[in-house]
Chain A
Amino acid sequence: MKKSRVLRASALLIGLSLVGVACGGDDTSSDTTAAAGGDVTCDGLKIAFFGALTGDAGNLGQNIKKGVDLAVAEFNEANPGCQVGIEAYDSQGDPAQAPALADKAVADASVVGIVGPAFSGESKAVNGKFDEAGLPIVTPSATNPDLANQGWKIFHRALAGDDKQGPGIVQKITADGKAKVGVIDDNSEYGKGLADIVQAGLGDVAVEMNSLDPEGSDYSAIVTAAKDAGVDGIFFGGYYAAAGKLAKQLKDGGVDAQLYFADGVLDVGFIEAAGPAAEGSIIMCPCAPKDSNADFLAAFKAKFNEDPATYAAEAYDAATAFLDAIAAGKQDRASILEFLKTYDKAGVTKQIKWDEKGEVAGNAIYAYTIESGAIVGKPGLIG
């Protein structure tokens, strides 16, 4: 292991010396905003997106990719001498497909930072590879708490983990005065992990209703169980496609319980899949509402002609951290990783500053709901 690391490091050094002398002199660049760099020079550096662009939760990855695109576009415009590229690794959110892509990312020496992996399952499968290669990552969306406890030096996340989100959900359900809440998950790293936290937090109020197959289509057995248990609330840990099918079948089956979901469901895909059954669902998320930063909202709208959706702002913050490192003259994996350790800046979603485990300082949990077929922020931020 050690030998290969030395090899990679020397390969990097050779690559950097080829980049030219010009890079050397810019260590003094400001670390205010990425766009303010101005005179930064670099050559052939890339930031990678890693996550699902297609597949059952592909919308979430698309949002993230757009956040990265915006940050990089702004940086490139402000720094004519340093055009940073974007590499996209579409894992389809599948832990089985992720490792081969991770090898590709590691092998591409021009990739100096990764925004992602987007989901917890794939993170668990590949973050070890990135750690071994010393390739820094900032995930804008993977919230499984265990990810921060693996001893990965390269791990950072731009939002609170499920150890914060779970209690936030429990707090919300308790505040709503629910007496009997069915807890369902999709058996994924993220969904099961979060459902377990919520179930433990709810204690006697929770009724365990086991897992469903997110690729399956018939959830009638769960609907029957929910009806039988007479629940007045249901929490599902999983992603939006399965959540939509579940919500629809629950409503059709005559279950009137209030539905609670988490960040993986906060997408229009949920509304498309559930139709009118989505109305009134409560979706919690450690992700900031789209209008939490007016400048970001305006810039995003100008570029993509749409509002930023779930995780786009977090992805922007994640990419900005890497771009700030590049602007500060840290242009290889090792020095960028070092730079992130002391990074402390107001991002568009929160103060971006990581502890030694890679957890971000701000950990607000927000509540959203579905009204007339649209996601609306619900006042009642849970800190």
Chain B
Amino acid sequence: MRDWLLYRTFWDLTITGLALGSIYSLVALGYTLVYGVLRLINFAHSEIFMVGTFGALMASQEFLGIPMLEDGGYPYRTGFMLIVFLMFILLCAMVFSGLGAVALERVAYKLRGNGDLFGAVVLAFLTGFVVSMVFVDDTLANVIVAAILTAPITMGYMSLFRRGKQSPRLAFLISAIGASTAIAEAMAIWGPEKREQYQTPRILEKDVLFTFLGADVRVDNLIVIVGALLMMVALTLFVNKSRLGRGVRAVAQDAETARILGVNVDMIILVTFALGGVMAGGAAMLFTLVYEQSRFNIGFILGVKSFTAAVLGGIGNLKGALLGGLILGLVENYASAIFGGQWKDVVAFVVLLVVLMFRPTGLLGESLGRARV
């Protein structure tokens, strides 16, 4: 029991665990939403989160021009400017992730034998690029060659799509895994810092706001927990109250019937991806606020954890994603205190296995499609 460390530091661990758990929850929403409507796991969602962290990074460093250090100290902003800056960074991260998710859906998921032009163009460009890479070792030349080749290859793909049958579901799973690797490696190869770690500037002074049962509550931890909760409330309201949200629920319940009743299913799927992406963008902004870093594979471990959180809470269930994320964050922190840091992943997965043994559909069960959201 490591000297009753857990007992003495319980509330400290609870607060930091909840902060990390909130980020898991937000990312888990993306897995759960897509699973709800498509019955598929979007394994590239972790890279959507990564794209969001780079959106936050670009917003603060490029668009707002915040330096890493000012006069040897952190470039703190205060008052109204701080709020404006934070909101702008949040917006950028959400736009990056949202657009990333939409593009991903178009390329990796949309090729359903009915010939989607956008997906075909992107695929054709990538094909041209890869072919060109075999012959020339110059990125600009590759881009030019790919651009020239795009039109003929697109036509070829379109005719293939038209002839092709509906792809088996497993194909999307594989194409998502492929997209995940491709996005991360593209960042590692063409990103300015390659495989190195990136730092985001700290504009929020991380003061201790108050002490809760002996534990320091820092302002960044509080913002993460409250921010994540607000975003989740907004998402739940959107899904439950709005017209598009009703469409999402209808498709989740029964896609074919929804289609017959006049719901634009393709549109709804796109909206679902976009919603998941926006949530991942929010998570990414909060993540860079607390941890101030990113890298090409930042999404990998976090994605696996968030997927675990979604399954733990009951995949397809929005409240389950929240609950699963928070529980996972807490369990990891407590396990670190009891067994040491190297055991936290083991304990997290043991908890998942035990829960699935007794509740195969997760803690809250699946419900996005069952109109019990």
Do A and B actually bind? yes
Chain A residues proximal to chain B, CB less than 8 Å: 54-56, 58-59, 92, 187, 209-213, 215-225, 227-228, 241, 244-245, 248, 252-254, 269, 272-273, 275-276, 372-373
CB-nearest residue of chain B to A242: B197
- Other A-B pairs, 8, CB within 8 Å; known A54-B188, A217-B298, A275-B74: A59-B196, A210-B340, A221-B332, A225-B336, A244-B197, A252-B218, A275-B202, A373-B72
In whole angstroms, how far apart are the Cα atoms of A187 and B301 in the complex? 17
Query: Which residues of the other chain, B, contact A254 by a CB distance below 8 angstroms?
Result: 208, 216
Q: What total of chain B residues lie within 8 Å of the partner, measured CB to CB?
A: 42
In whole angstroms, how far apart are the Cα atoms of A212 and B343 in the complex? 10
Query: Which residues of the other chain, B, contact A213 by a CB distance below 8 angstroms?
Result: 301, 341-342, 345
A-B contact pairs, 26 of them (CB 8 A): A54-B195, A56-B197, A210-B340, A210-B342, A212-B342, A213-B301, A217-B287, A217-B298, A218-B16, A219-B341, A220-B16, A220-B17, A220-B333, A221-B13, A221-B333, A222-B341, A223-B16, A225-B9, A228-B8, A228-B9, A245-B291, A248-B292, A254-B208, A273-B199, A276-B69, A276-B73
Binary interface encoding of chain B residues 56-78 relative to chain A, with 1 for a CB under 8 A from any of its CBs, else 0:
00000000000011001110000
Interface residue B253 (Cβ < 8 Å from any Cβ of A): no
Chain B residues proximal to chain A, CB less than 8 Å: 5, 8-9, 12-13, 16-17, 19-20, 68-69, 72-74, 188, 194-197, 199, 202, 206, 208, 216, 218, 287, 291-293, 297-298, 301-302, 332-333, 336-337, 340-342, 344-345
CB distance from A229 to the nearest CB of B (A): 8
In whole angstroms, how far apart are the Cα atoms of A266 and B98 in the complex? 39
In whole angstroms, how far apart are the Cα atoms of A254 and B342 in the complex? 23
CB distance from A249 to the nearest CB of B (A): 8
In whole angstroms, how far apart are the Cα atoms of A199 and B224 in the complex? 36
In whole angstroms, how far apart are the Cα atoms of A218 and B330 in the complex? 12
CB distance from A223 to the nearest CB of B (A): 8
8 pairs of A and B residues whose beta carbons are closest in the complex: A221-B336, A210-B340, A220-B16, A211-B342, A54-B195, A217-B291, A224-B12, A55-B195
CB distance from B53 to the nearest CB of A (A): 10
Kindly identify which residue among A56, A59, A210, A241 contacts B341, using a CB–CB cutoff of 8 Å: A210
In whole angstroms, how far apart are the Cα atoms of A272 and B198 in the complex? 9
CB distance from B2 to the nearest CB of A (A): 8
**Contact at A269–B196, with CB atoms within 8 Å?**
yes
CB-nearest residue of chain A to B215: A224
> Given A252-B206, A372-B72, are A245 and B293 also a contact pair (CB < 8 Å)?
yes
In whole angstroms, how far apart are the Cα atoms of A272 and B72 in the complex? 12
In whole angstroms, how far apart are the Cα atoms of A248 and B46 in the complex? 25
